[in-house]
Amino acid sequence: MTGNLRTFVLMAAMTALVMAMGYLIGGQGGAIFALIFAGAGNIWAWWNSDKAVLRQQGATLVTRQQAPELVDMVAALANRANLPMPKVYILATEQPNAFATGRNPENAAVAVTQGIMRVLTRDELAGVIAHELAHIKHRDTLIMTVTATMAGAIAMLGNMMMFSSMMGGRDDSRGGALGGILAMIFAPMAAGLVQMAISRAREYEADRIGAEICGEPMALAGALAKISRAAGQIVNIPAEKNPAAASMFIINPLHALRMDRLFATHPSTEDRIARLRAMTGSNGRGGYQTSRIPTAGRPESGPWDNQ
């Protein structure tokens, strides 16, 4: 099953969950209302999700005058990917990480943390940005926004079921009290698993396309390894406060125990690196060319001053 077909099937499953929850609350009318509710949420998300995520994460818009090397790098890679120039943001956290957002390539943004510019080499950062541009190119940011909105709708419907049961307003002919309790507990969990499955599928594809854009699969692999190690040691406070956006980052920014792997929003870093390594030949690059990243002159301090 291709990545796009898998995503379509998973989103169809999410829609079915929304309607099932609505049916359990209010029968056929409830199912229709739930579908309309989810649709209205998706329309809101279409226009406002990018702004909301950037605001939640404390992102600051930067210009070429403020961050010339970073903006030039994004511009060069966007041109290589045949994409419009996205807006560039910096997140004030030392955890190395990055994400992309926006409803389409014409209204997209790439956000990187202060920490990622201190930790990665120039080619590694190019690999990360290329990965995010791959998400924009294939409109993954929109897909993840829609699924996140549906997951939120299912969670809200679960709360409505709980209050409806407490008030005695629920028709037990649609599954009984036990069925309602089970749906209230497991439907939001199932929605979360569907959301995570979509995210995992899109990450593999973005790694592949990102490696092609930047021309250095192993640079992206090296970046993933460094980010994964640091993400487990440095707390990203804005991400911890808004965990619903975790799936948008290139590496999960949240602290989690190994027992939580079933609910991980990302594939394992080891699996991603193995797939990138398989793209290369014995020389470490295969048929790819070294990424040529423009610079505006090495600054006295700031990004890449460790090289």
Known binding residues for Zn(2+) are 131, 135, 203
Q: Which helix (H) or strand (E) holds 263?
A: none
Sign of the Cα pseudo-torsion (245, 248, 252, 256, in order)? positive
3-state SS, one letter per residue, for 59-101: EEECCCCCCHHHHHHHHHHHHHCCCCCCEEEEECCCCCCEEEE
Q: Which of 69, 94, 106, 132 does the annotation list as catalytic?
A: 132
Half-sphere exposure of 255 toward its Cβ, with a 13 Å CA cutoff? Answer: 11
- Told to judge if 132 belongs to the known catalytic residues of this protein, a careful annotator would answer yes
Q: Which pair of tokens denotes residue 119?
A: 């930790």
- Say how far apart CA 155 and CA 38 lie, in whole Å: 11
Q: Which pair of tokens denotes residue 188?
A: 């939001």
SS3 content of the chain, % helix, strand, coil (to 5): 65, 5, 25
- Say how far apart CA 71 and CA 90 lie, in whole Å: 11
Q: Which pair of tokens denotes residue 169?
A: 């307003």
Torsion angle of the four alpha carbons 106, 107, 108, 113, in this order, in degrees rounded to the nearest 10 = 140
Residues with catalytic annotation?
Answer: 132
